[in-house]
Amino acid sequence: MNLGSSTLAAMEQNSLKSLVIPDEGRDDVQKLLSLSAEDLAKLEETLTDRSALKDDRRPYRRVAQALEISPQAAISVLTAVGNIRSQRERFNISDTDLFADLEVLGTVDDATREGLRSLLCGPDDGYFVEKVGSLRHAIAPHATDVRTVVDARPVFSQDRARVDALVLLTYLELGVHDPRDGRNDTLVVQLSRTQVAKLREVLEDAEKKLDKLAETFGAHEIYE
Protein backbone atom coordinates (compact mmCIF):
# COMPACT_ATOMS: atom_id res chain seq x y z
CA MET A 1 0.00 0.00 0.00
CA ASN A 2 1.39 3.38 -0.99
CA LEU A 3 0.89 6.21 1.46
CA GLY A 4 0.72 9.81 0.27
CA SER A 5 3.22 12.38 1.55
CA SER A 6 0.53 14.11 3.64
CA THR A 7 -0.38 10.78 5.31
CA LEU A 8 3.29 10.07 6.07
CA ALA A 9 3.72 13.57 7.46
CA ALA A 10 0.70 13.11 9.72
CA MET A 11 2.00 9.76 10.98
CA GLU A 12 5.40 11.30 11.59
CA GLN A 13 3.95 14.26 13.48
CA ASN A 14 1.81 11.96 15.62
CA SER A 15 4.95 10.06 16.65
CA LEU A 16 6.72 13.20 17.84
CA LYS A 17 6.66 13.63 21.63
CA SER A 18 7.37 17.33 21.99
CA LEU A 19 8.26 19.18 18.79
CA VAL A 20 5.61 20.56 16.48
CA ILE A 21 6.99 20.50 12.94
CA PRO A 22 4.61 21.52 10.12
CA ASP A 23 4.83 19.82 6.74
CA GLU A 24 6.82 22.69 5.24
CA GLY A 25 9.31 22.57 8.11
CA ARG A 26 10.27 18.89 7.87
CA ASP A 27 12.65 19.43 4.96
CA ASP A 28 14.39 22.20 6.95
CA VAL A 29 14.99 19.86 9.90
CA GLN A 30 16.17 17.07 7.62
CA LYS A 31 18.69 19.41 5.98
CA LEU A 32 20.02 20.26 9.44
CA LEU A 33 20.25 16.59 10.39
CA SER A 34 22.08 15.78 7.16
CA LEU A 35 25.06 17.95 8.18
CA SER A 36 28.25 16.24 9.25
CA ALA A 37 29.79 16.74 12.70
CA GLU A 38 32.38 19.02 11.09
CA ASP A 39 29.70 21.11 9.41
CA LEU A 40 27.71 21.39 12.66
CA ALA A 41 30.82 22.76 14.38
CA LYS A 42 31.34 25.25 11.54
CA LEU A 43 27.69 26.26 11.75
CA GLU A 44 27.87 26.94 15.48
CA GLU A 45 31.10 28.89 15.08
CA THR A 46 29.57 31.01 12.30
CA LEU A 47 26.47 31.79 14.37
CA THR A 48 28.40 32.76 17.52
CA ASP A 49 31.47 34.54 16.11
CA ARG A 50 31.18 38.24 16.98
CA SER A 51 33.90 39.15 14.50
CA ALA A 52 31.43 38.10 11.78
CA LEU A 53 29.40 41.20 12.64
CA LYS A 54 32.04 43.26 10.86
CA ASP A 55 30.85 41.41 7.76
CA ASP A 56 27.68 43.10 6.48
CA ARG A 57 26.45 39.96 4.70
CA ARG A 58 23.29 38.39 6.01
CA PRO A 59 23.80 35.30 8.25
CA TYR A 60 22.53 32.81 5.68
CA ARG A 61 25.17 33.97 3.21
CA ARG A 62 27.93 33.54 5.79
CA VAL A 63 26.59 30.08 6.62
CA ALA A 64 26.35 29.14 2.95
CA GLN A 65 30.00 30.06 2.45
CA ALA A 66 31.23 28.37 5.63
CA LEU A 67 29.41 25.11 4.88
CA GLU A 68 29.81 25.33 1.09
CA ILE A 69 26.06 24.88 0.54
CA SER A 70 23.51 26.86 -1.45
CA PRO A 71 21.89 29.98 0.04
CA GLN A 72 18.54 28.16 -0.04
CA ALA A 73 19.98 25.25 1.97
CA ALA A 74 21.53 27.69 4.45
CA ILE A 75 18.15 29.37 4.96
CA SER A 76 16.58 25.96 5.62
CA VAL A 77 19.25 25.06 8.17
CA LEU A 78 18.92 28.38 10.01
CA THR A 79 15.14 28.11 10.01
CA ALA A 80 15.36 24.66 11.60
CA VAL A 81 17.84 25.79 14.26
CA GLY A 82 15.72 28.81 15.20
CA ASN A 83 12.50 26.79 15.31
CA ILE A 84 13.91 23.95 17.39
CA ARG A 85 15.70 26.20 19.88
CA SER A 86 12.59 28.33 20.28
CA GLN A 87 10.35 25.33 20.98
CA ARG A 88 12.87 23.72 23.32
CA GLU A 89 13.08 26.85 25.46
CA ARG A 90 9.37 27.78 25.30
CA PHE A 91 8.06 24.31 26.15
CA ASN A 92 10.99 23.26 28.37
CA ILE A 93 11.74 20.23 26.21
CA SER A 94 14.36 17.95 27.74
CA ASP A 95 17.41 16.84 25.77
CA THR A 96 16.12 13.26 25.86
CA ASP A 97 12.72 14.14 24.39
CA LEU A 98 14.28 16.47 21.84
CA PHE A 99 16.61 13.82 20.48
CA ALA A 100 13.84 11.23 20.47
CA ASP A 101 11.90 13.53 18.15
CA LEU A 102 14.94 14.33 16.00
CA GLU A 103 15.52 10.62 15.46
CA VAL A 104 11.95 10.36 14.12
CA LEU A 105 12.65 13.17 11.67
CA GLY A 106 16.06 12.03 10.46
CA THR A 107 19.30 10.25 11.28
CA VAL A 108 21.20 11.19 14.43
CA ASP A 109 24.39 9.18 14.94
CA ASP A 110 27.13 9.32 17.53
CA ALA A 111 29.26 11.54 15.31
CA THR A 112 26.63 14.28 15.03
CA ARG A 113 24.83 13.98 18.38
CA GLU A 114 27.25 16.16 20.35
CA GLY A 115 27.32 18.80 17.64
CA LEU A 116 23.53 18.96 17.60
CA ARG A 117 23.42 19.03 21.41
CA SER A 118 25.81 21.98 21.56
CA LEU A 119 24.00 23.81 18.76
CA LEU A 120 20.42 23.20 19.94
CA CYS A 121 20.68 22.67 23.70
CA GLY A 122 23.71 24.64 24.85
CA PRO A 123 23.85 28.28 25.97
CA ASP A 124 22.51 30.57 23.28
CA ASP A 125 25.84 32.22 22.56
CA GLY A 126 24.47 33.25 19.18
CA TYR A 127 21.83 35.55 20.72
CA PHE A 128 24.06 38.62 20.59
CA VAL A 129 25.15 38.00 17.02
CA GLU A 130 21.55 37.30 15.95
CA LYS A 131 20.25 40.41 17.74
CA VAL A 132 22.79 42.72 16.13
CA GLY A 133 22.01 41.18 12.75
CA SER A 134 18.27 41.61 13.19
CA LEU A 135 18.61 45.24 14.25
CA ARG A 136 20.84 45.84 11.26
CA HIS A 137 18.62 44.15 8.68
CA ALA A 138 15.17 43.19 9.93
CA ILE A 139 13.47 46.51 10.70
CA ALA A 140 12.88 47.97 7.25
CA PRO A 141 13.88 47.41 3.62
CA HIS A 142 17.63 47.95 3.35
CA ALA A 143 20.14 48.52 0.58
CA THR A 144 22.15 45.53 -0.59
CA ASP A 145 23.97 47.29 -3.43
CA VAL A 146 24.52 50.86 -4.62
CA ARG A 147 25.84 52.14 -7.94
CA THR A 148 25.54 55.16 -10.22
CA VAL A 149 25.27 55.58 -13.97
CA VAL A 150 25.78 58.94 -15.67
CA ASP A 151 24.03 59.88 -18.90
CA ALA A 152 24.27 62.69 -21.44
CA ARG A 153 21.05 63.35 -23.32
CA PRO A 154 21.41 65.35 -26.55
CA VAL A 155 19.10 68.23 -27.33
CA PHE A 156 18.59 68.18 -31.10
CA SER A 157 17.60 71.14 -33.23
CA GLN A 158 14.04 71.13 -34.47
CA ASP A 159 15.09 69.80 -37.85
CA ARG A 160 17.29 67.13 -36.18
CA ALA A 161 20.28 68.43 -38.15
CA ARG A 162 22.53 69.23 -35.19
CA VAL A 163 22.99 68.81 -31.44
CA ASP A 164 22.50 72.14 -29.71
CA ALA A 165 23.11 71.06 -26.12
CA LEU A 166 23.48 68.19 -23.68
CA VAL A 167 21.48 67.44 -20.53
CA LEU A 168 23.65 65.67 -17.93
CA LEU A 169 21.93 63.24 -15.58
CA THR A 170 22.86 60.71 -12.92
CA TYR A 171 20.97 57.52 -12.15
CA LEU A 172 21.25 56.12 -8.63
CA GLU A 173 20.54 52.38 -8.54
CA LEU A 174 19.78 50.69 -5.21
CA GLY A 175 19.48 46.96 -4.67
CA VAL A 176 16.87 46.59 -1.93
CA HIS A 177 15.93 43.63 0.27
CA ASP A 178 12.64 43.67 2.18
CA PRO A 179 12.86 41.38 5.26
CA ARG A 180 9.09 41.42 5.67
CA ASP A 181 8.48 39.30 2.58
CA GLY A 182 12.02 38.32 1.53
CA ARG A 183 11.77 40.13 -1.81
CA ASN A 184 14.76 41.63 -3.60
CA ASP A 185 14.10 44.61 -5.85
CA THR A 186 16.05 47.24 -7.74
CA LEU A 187 15.15 50.90 -7.31
CA VAL A 188 16.43 53.44 -9.84
CA VAL A 189 16.06 57.20 -9.33
CA GLN A 190 17.15 60.01 -11.63
CA LEU A 191 19.18 62.88 -10.16
CA SER A 192 20.27 66.23 -11.47
CA ARG A 193 23.74 67.57 -10.60
CA THR A 194 22.10 69.77 -7.94
CA GLN A 195 20.41 66.73 -6.41
CA VAL A 196 23.71 64.81 -6.47
CA ALA A 197 25.26 67.65 -4.48
CA LYS A 198 22.33 67.59 -2.03
CA LEU A 199 22.64 63.83 -1.65
CA ARG A 200 26.35 64.19 -0.90
CA GLU A 201 25.52 66.85 1.70
CA VAL A 202 22.96 64.74 3.55
CA LEU A 203 25.21 61.65 3.47
CA GLU A 204 28.11 63.63 4.89
CA ASP A 205 25.76 64.90 7.60
CA ALA A 206 24.74 61.32 8.38
CA GLU A 207 28.43 60.32 8.68
CA LYS A 208 29.02 63.16 11.16
CA LYS A 209 26.07 61.95 13.26
CA LEU A 210 27.35 58.36 13.18
CA ASP A 211 30.84 59.53 14.21
CA LYS A 212 29.33 61.47 17.12
CA LEU A 213 27.31 58.47 18.28
CA ALA A 214 30.40 56.24 18.08
CA GLU A 215 32.37 58.80 20.07
CA THR A 216 29.63 59.22 22.69
CA PHE A 217 29.10 55.50 23.22
CA GLY A 218 32.72 54.49 22.69
CA ALA A 219 32.68 52.30 25.81
CA HIS A 220 30.27 49.95 24.02
CA GLU A 221 30.91 47.62 21.12
CA ILE A 222 29.95 49.45 17.93
CA TYR A 223 28.62 47.69 14.83
CA GLU A 224 27.66 49.40 11.59
In order of 29, 38, 104, 151, 193, the CA distances from 33 in angstroms are 6, 12, 11, 52, 55
What is this structure's pTM? 0.58
What is the mean predicted confidence (pLDDT) over 1-16? 54
**Helix extents (H) in 4-70:** 5-14, 23-33, 37-48, 59-67
pLDDT, one tens digit per residue, over 187-219 is: 999 999 999 999 999 999 999 998 888 888 876
pLDDT for 157 equals 94
Spatial distance between the Cα atoms of 9 and 215, rounded to a whole number of angstroms: 55
Q: Is the pLDDT of residue 31 over 90?
A: yes
70: phi then psi, degrees, rounded to nearest 5: -70, 155
Band of pLDDT at residue 35, cut at 50, 70 and 90: very high
Mean pLDDT of the chain: 83
What tens digit of pLDDT does each residue of 115-150 get? 999 888 876 655 666 666 666 666 678 788 899 999
Check if the beta carbon of residue 126 is closer than 8 Å to that of residue 48: yes
pLDDT at 11 over 50: no
Exposed, middle or buried by CB within 10 Å (0-12, 13-18, 19+), for 47? buried
**Whole-number percent of the chain with pLDDT over 70:** 80
